Structure 1
Amino acid sequence: MNDDPKPPKGLASLERFDLLPLLRDGVQARYEGSIDKQGFNADWDWLLYKDGAEFVIFDVDGPGCIYNFVQHRYPDSPEPTFRFYFDGEAEPRFELKHAEFGAKAPFVKPLADAYLGPEEGGRGPIRVVRSFVPMPYARSCKITTDIRLKGANKGDGGWGHVVYHAYAEADEGLATFTGNESYERVRELWSRVGEDPKPDLPSDATVRRELSIAPGDAVVVFEAKGAGCIVSMLARTPGIGANELWIRATWDGHGAPDVYSPLGAFFGNELGFNAIGVLSHGTRTDGISYNYFPMPFWRGARVELVNKSDKTIRVPEWDIRCTFEASALAQYREGRAGYFRSSSYRESRATLGSDAVIGEIAGNGHMVAAQVTAFARKPGTVSCEGDVRVYIDGIATPQIESDGSESYVCYGWGFPTPPQTNPSSGYDGLPDNPWSMVRLCAGDCYPFRERLVFGIESGDYNNQYLRHSGILFYYGVDAPGMRLTDELDVGDRGSEEAHGYASIGGRGSYTVESGYEDGTHRRLADTGRETEGSSEFTVAIDPRNAGVRVRRRSDQITGRQRAHVYVDGERVEARSWYFADRNPYKRWLEDEFDIPAKYTSGKTDITIRLVFEQEGENRVWNEFYYWIYSLV
């Protein structure tokens, strides 16, 4: 084995499940999709702009990789053809019809598939296509359709999303998607859900025992000193309520548990009505529950089962496998890999008028799985309309969203036919309510450097009474991976003078009062500037930085804002600062640009110049506030 591998990108991130603990420096998770711009539930008009006869639904600049593509339509809707343009090409490199998901290579099962939902108010059955085929690109990517994806009525059908990673720098080993790549290894892994997807590692310690745990007691099921990595946990737990028995795991003598979760959620089955299983964790049809997330430690480990019920619990089978093999552990160098952890479990409760926060994470790491469960007041209630919103490192604009929880989990309308499961997502429940969904984010993990907040709406726009519970799983370390080192308030004379702010081709200042796309009614008034030429300012950074992240508050009333970024006179080559979407209702946008360390390392301050380039309808670059973070 490679004794110090890089975090995998593109196809390799699905092939190397064993490298999931490696921290993802220089990677950001992003979303583009059909979100209602006014914050309600009209999540179906999926369009950025029109390019000739084609309708653009995705457009990004810089290196990255698409990991998840979902689109919904009704069978009597016109069928769209999706065209994929890479690296500025004038002609599409790949084309895919809606009906070809699951059939046209490489978009074949189990990496891509289609789901046929039920009749829904006379409009259905809705057909949902989904793909987890990695599609990397070295410079840029644009996706178009030949028809407008515009409606929610019979004869229409046009909502969906793309989840992707943006890379701070181009990777010489990352080749742009062609459609001819070999996906056989991933397809073979994904076809064996329930088996360990990691390489066959020597397991020096295997614990098998029949357990009896009294009410309120905790039993140690595994303990080790020194460095190791738990390879798998398997259990047979018939008749045990999903929240009666909890697992508590502590690595390296930490003062608080790293994992503290109900056993049902730990095995991807919080409700436990049906056997749901994804690649990483779940329950097989033979009743064996499994968790294959690699769990490295460097000084010791302790795993306990805690009985939170009022009765004695008997566990017929419990199996933990751990490797202490030096060659296997070399890939998990301390500081390069994170601990496997859980967020604090959210007990079932309602949050009225705002998103229910399923989990909050602090430190530096990446989220790899989410479990969300919802109860409505009565059966027969369609309760899946709530959008998932994920906020990363304190940014006010959600970086990951979904047009409904059913879209987040890549299925269809209303959770009417449980169970449904694929290697990366699944749901369990009764018709409509209650329901529980599990989502594995292996390729499309969500990196964070300070914190991550995962929330979900209650209904169309937080207008339903729903009780939510759930938990997040992630790899992380306590120390944050970035630090705020400067702020520039554009429009404030003192702040501008302190940072040497200057604008060439400026059109003056203006004030906006509006809101963010965060599901709240809060409004913010701020004064900023717009320019047809360029702006320049000097900011303080930490000389020990591993790169710099620049966050901007801007007015997204018009889309396709683009500027080229120069640092101390040198242009950042990997990408331009480009945002293709718009929102004339929720006008505030916070977006970010990562400057690689080769432009910033060892410096105490840098001068940033942003040179506007016109794209489409947009005529200016606007800026209201900048936050400067030193990556550490």
Structure 2
Amino acid sequence: MGPLSNIFELKDGIKTKRISSYDRTGGNDDKIVIKAGETAEIANISGAGIIKHIWITISTPDNFIRRNAIIRMYWDGEENPSVESPLGDFFGQGWGEEYNFASLPLAAAPAAGKALNSYFPMPFGDGARITIENQSEHNIDSFYYYVDYEEHPSIPDTAGRFHAWWNRELTEVHPEDGEAEWGLVGEVGKNKSDKDNYLFADIEGKGHFVGVNYYVDSPGPMWYGEGDDMFLVDGEDWPGSLHGTGTEDFFNSSWCPNEEYIHPYFGYAKVPDKLGWMGRTHCYRFLLEDPIYFDKSLRASIEHGHNNNLTLDISTVSYWYQTEPHKPFPELPGKDQRQNMPEINFMDVHRWRHEWRKAMGNGKKLWGNEIKEKKDK
């Protein structure tokens, strides 16, 4: 059943509505201002319906507004948001950056990714609210938006509510093993648990998981993606019902890719142009044809390197539908905790080489690929 398969069907009792930032005076000042530190309610809908599309574009002196502004969504009068995420990360842009991104449910469109779009259907039975909190020190001088939705007489009891959760972690390596990916600098250990994995979903209730935006910043040139994805359904023990074979495999690619690739369901919206895989990579996968179903709970995680042996800055937004009430999200990290890690550059690499030369005895013609064990013989 494709998106056009029932477009010709005529329906009764449904009304199409829109809330937008249009100029109520009839002029062309079609925006709102969200002052620094304030929260704006951009939609407050009563009754039952389905939000079908959201479009947002903004202008502000703050060039990090995509991390400094928070989008939240509430269904059916709930107190705890079902959606809570930095604005850019939710729509498919990591690290507070602007860049084009295209997928079936989410997109960041021209000019230069400034137009943020969601096509996730978001049903509600007794009201819906969407807010934007400006945690920046600057006003959002121009905030333009559409919220397109349908009014329905009622919503079926089988309609799960849309959820999205942002998480971030600066991952740690095992001190005894070091960063030993591919066995390059030491023996690679074995992982028979998900306890040290990066967690991207921790859900209670009945529902189905439909996707994730995965933003990884690697401080070194080694391939970041030997980590397996692991989904533990309804409280089951490791290895669980769905156990993967590597990060790129979960994102439907292969062999350590480092190239942009855009598919409606999966791809690489951003890749680094540095040494190896050093820098920022945005992977995404939407399980729209193959959602992961759960009746009681879902714990979803991924290794940060095989056996969790890499230090990486990972941020994710996960998307799913479930029954309410949902398990409240952990407290969103403050603005200072959402800043990017410093960029590793060529000077840092040269400092590493300087320390390596000292470890190799400061030979006068060391090239850089010598192995210490061979040098000592």
| TM-score, reference length from structure 1 | 0.42
Supply the distance in 1 between the matched residues of 2:325 and 2:40 (Cα, whole angstroms).
Answer: 31
Partners of 2:141 and 2:271 lie apart in 1 by: 25
User: What amino acid is aligned across from residue 342 of structure 1 in structure 2?
Assistant: A
2:290 counterpart residue number: 444
- Distance between the aligned counterparts of 1:461 and 1:255, measured in 2? 38
Which secondary structure state, in structure 2, belongs to the residue aligned with residue 406 of structure 1?
helix
Q: 1:407 to 1:248 in 2, by over 3 A?
A: same
Structure 2: stretches of 5+ with no match in the other structure: 23-30, 175-195, 327-377
Residue matched to 2:159 = 337
Q: What does the per-residue CA deviation read over 1:541-564, in whole Å, with 9 as the maximum and x for residues that have no partner?
A: xxxxxxxxxxxxxxxxxxxxxxxx
Alignment of 1:234-383 (within 5 A): 234-237=55-58, 239-271=63-95, 272=97, 274-286=99-111, 287=113, 288-326=115-153, 332-333=155-156, 335-343=157-165, 345-353=166-174, 354-378=196-220, 380-383=221-224
* C-alpha distance in structure 2 between counterparts of 1:412 and 1:243, whole Å: 30
Structure of higher RCO (CA pairs closer than 8 Å, 6+ residues apart)? 2
Shift of 1:402: 2.8
Deviations 1:370-425 (A, max 9, x none): 122222223x332122211111111122322332211211123434223x210001
Give aligned-pair identity as a percent.
Answer: 23
2:222 counterpart letter in structure 1:
T
For 1:273 and 1:415, locate their aligned partners in 2 and report how far apart those are by CA, in whole Å: 22
Report the CA distance between 1:351 and its aligned residue.
Answer: 4.4
In the aligned structure 2, how far is the partner of 1:303 from the partner of 1:260?
10
Q: Residue 58 of structure 2 contacts residue 140 of structure 2 at CA under 8 Å; is this kept in 1? A: no
| Alignment counterpart, residue 310 of structure 2, candidates 464, 474, 484 | 464
- Summarize the alignment of residues 83-232 of structure 1 with structure 2, pairs less than 5 Å apart: 202-209=15-22, 210-232=31-53
- Once the 2 structures are TM-superposed, how far is the Cα of residue 202 of structure 1 from its aligned partner? 4.6
One-letter code aligned to 2:254: G
Write out per-residue CA displacement over residues 525-544 of structure 1, whole angstroms, 9 at most, x where no aligned residue: xxxxxxxxxxxxxxxxxxxx
Instruction: Tell me the secondary structure at the aligned position of residue 455 of structure 1.
Output: strand
Equivalences, count: 280
Cα deviation, 1:161-197, whole Å, max 9, x if unaligned, reads xxxxxxxxxxxxxxxxxxxxxxxx58xx9xxxxxxxx
Between structures 1 and 2, the one with greater helix share = 2
Larger radius of gyration: 1
CA contact (8 A) 2:169 2:198 kept: no
Opposite residue 295 of structure 1, the aligned amino acid is M
Code of the aligned partner of 2:266: S
Distance 1:474 1:315, change over 3 A: farther
Q: Distance in 1 between matches of 2:264 and 2:152?
A: 29
Q: What is the rounded CA distance, in whole Å, between the counterparts of 2:159 and 2:148 in structure 1? A: 20
In terms of fraction of residues, the more strand-rich structure is 1
The answer to whether the 8 A contact 1:358-1:372 is kept is no
SS at match of 2:222: coil
Deviation at 1:349, TM superposition (A): 2.2
Residue in 2 that maps onto 1:423: 264
TM-score normalised to the size of structure 2?
0.68
CA–CA separation in structure 1 for the residues paired with 2:142 and 2:283: 25
1:434 and 1:259 mapped to 2: Cα distance?
Answer: 25
